[in-house]
Structure 1
Amino acid sequence: MPQVHTEEPRLPPDLERHIFETVALSRPVNIPNLMLVAWRVKSWVEPLLYRVLVMDMFAARPIDGLPFITADVFLRLVTEKSGRFFPDSVKHLILGYKAWGGAPTNSHRHMSAILSACSGVTHFSLQTEVNLRPHELTALAGLQAIHYLAVDISRVFASTTVDFTHPVFRHITHLELRNIRPEKLGDTTWVQVAHIPNLTHLSFRVQEFCGSLGCTLCASLRLTCLIFLCPRNEDILAAAETVDDPRFAVMKFWSHSICVNTQVEWQQMGLTGESYWSKADRFLEARRAGDIDGRLIGTFADSVYHIDVQDEA
């Protein structure tokens, strides 16, 4: 028979809970082991296991410290938990799916159910090779708490004109547009972006950068940070020389696939709270204060973001 310990905890409950929650947040993948300590510990740390949910990824596997879950397993857990468990627990949702042999994976077939169960999510990164269906777009628009969003806009509005006035963007403050060629969208569409009601931060990949696009976006008084993600040095220089605005930044990503770079960043943001957004904000603030005199070039490298400054000279 295993030995059963009946001693009362020696630490004050608030302190004990703080210790276990700190350990759980530092490395969520170990939470299942912590849940075995005691029922009270399980009640404290189990919601933290799902705080950052990485599901059916194909662009990048979970970074060290984060667990991975499939759509089937997650939806089975949804039926076993109380109604508010997952809406209250899941804050960062990183969802990816693709078509295997022409058929979408389970996460696509059940995407509406996943979004409904994660209605309290604040940060959502969606990487897909399959077009969203109308009811899935409606489910995405129903995420009232979401403020950070990363999407392939061509997949979101695959069968219709891209519409940045759609309710999907109503509450968004930080928007990352993936797999988009800005020159393919008309000026009217980018004016819509500039008028998203709560948008303050915008990033997207730049290849053939158009100067009028930068002027259109910089005309928005709401935007405080505009980031162009560039794969090549020549693109970085072309973009940097075109836009003259204190809210503007250029960042270079290390992989040929932008989604690999930014998916890693979104996971890191959920785990540590740090992201290229927060680092760019600090850089831009320092530049406005006159503490930095140079050109911003950020680099995604080995899952760690760092900032290099090149003098204008």
Structure 2
Amino acid sequence: MPRIASSEDPSPVLPLDLEREILGTAAELYPETIPNLLLVAHRVQDWIERLKYKTVTSSGVGSSCPFRALRQAIRSNLKPPDFFHHRVRHLFLGLGTTTIAGELEGTLSICRGIQSLVLFAFAGPSILPSLGAMQLRRLSIDLKALFGTRPIDTGHLAFTFVTHLDIFGDTTGQPDLLANLARLPALTHLALFRYHTAILETELSKNKKLQVLIHMQSVGYADDHWISIDDTRFVYMMLSDDEYERDWVVGVKGGMDFWARAALFVAKKRRGEIKPSSRCWIEDGDGI
């Protein structure tokens, strides 16, 4: 018969493993409840604190922690640096984020366990050493801003483990970029913004390792301007800045983000389920 806890009895009623599973699931599904969960008990605080900093975004909406809270926690020196190295896994900094380059550099040098990183701003050469110390799997960034006046170096350590790369900004002035990206050892999914379609088609035919190539377009760009490419891996997509953040949060939680939708479209196209077969963009009737 289950024991009934009294107000004087702080020990758990449920088995610890089950209690931890329930509270951990609640924190993952409803990150806005984390501040209250931290107040339940000391044992719960220890469990939930491991999840609090897992996903960090500019505002904290939809994630477990806003960027300002992460900065404050690091500044407080109440936790050893290794605490954040082992806790922070996903970081998204949008255009509205308030920070300075040196502060971002310091944060990234401590949070070396980040696996998924989005930087809409503040990407400059000073953060390259920090990125090189990580084992990033997913990276969304402006490469021109990241390297500044230097040539874009796709052989940098920052790209060694990257499987999904989304490049912001206009890269048409980098004629060798696609050929260099093809040499990245782990890259399987690539998204580019406003790249010349004919060049994409040529380079895609040479790169058999790439599974998905997304050509990002500005919102409102009509479908009749999209030129089809005779390669099942090629997909046109559109996302506004606001949609991008929400989409990213869904993705790091294992949901259907734009990468997953594009991969599903490619799979359907290979099976002959996309009509006409020449279409390179997702429509409502595709069930994606």
| Pairwise same-fold verdict (TM > 0.5) | yes
Aligned to 2:211: 224
Q: Quote the offset at 1:277 in angstroms.
A: 0.8
Alignment check: 8 A CA contact 1:86 1:117 kept: yes
Alignment check: 8 A CA contact 1:226 1:247 kept: yes
In structure 2, the CA distance between the partners of 1:280 and 1:262, relative to structure 1 (3 Å rule), is same
CA distance in 2, matches of 1:267, 1:281: 18
Aligned to 2:80: 82
Alignment check: 8 A CA contact 2:56 2:67 kept: yes
Deviations 1:193-216 (A, max 9, x none): 12211100001222x634023221
Q: Which structure shows the higher strand fraction?
A: 1
Q: Quote the offset at 1:229 in angstroms.
A: 1.1
CA distance in 1, matches of 2:281, 2:162: 25
Q: Quote the offset at 1:131 in angstroms.
A: 5.5
Aligned to 1:102: none
Any residues of structure 2 matched to 1:197-216 within 5 Å, and which?
Answer: 197-206=185-194, 209-216=196-203
CA distance in 1, matches of 2:222, 2:215: 10
Aligned to 1:302: none
**Larger relative CO (CA 8 A, sep 6+): 1 or 2?**
1
Taking structure 1 as the reference length, the TM-score comes to 0.80
In structure 2, the CA distance between the partners of 1:293 and 1:215, relative to structure 1 (3 Å rule), is same
Alignment check: 8 A CA contact 2:56 2:63 kept: no
CA distance in 2, matches of 1:277, 1:147: 13
CA distance in 1, matches of 2:221, 2:107: 41
The RMSD of aligned alpha carbons is 2.5
Aligned to 1:37: 40
Structure 2 unaligned blocks of 5 or more: 1-5
Deviations 1:71-98 (A, max 9, x none): 6414224x21134321111110112467
CA distance in 2, matches of 1:209, 1:62: 36
Alignment partner of 1:126 is 2:115: no
Aligned to 2:256: 274
Taking structure 2 as the reference length, the TM-score comes to 0.86
Equivalenced residue count is: 278
Aligned to 1:159: 149
Alignment check: 8 A CA contact 1:296 1:309 kept: no
CA distance in 1, matches of 2:137, 2:265: 22
In structure 2, the CA distance between the partners of 1:239 and 1:290, relative to structure 1 (3 Å rule), is same
Alignment check: 8 A CA contact 2:197 2:227 kept: no
Structure 1 unaligned blocks of 5 or more: 100-104, 299-306
Identity, in percent, stands at 28
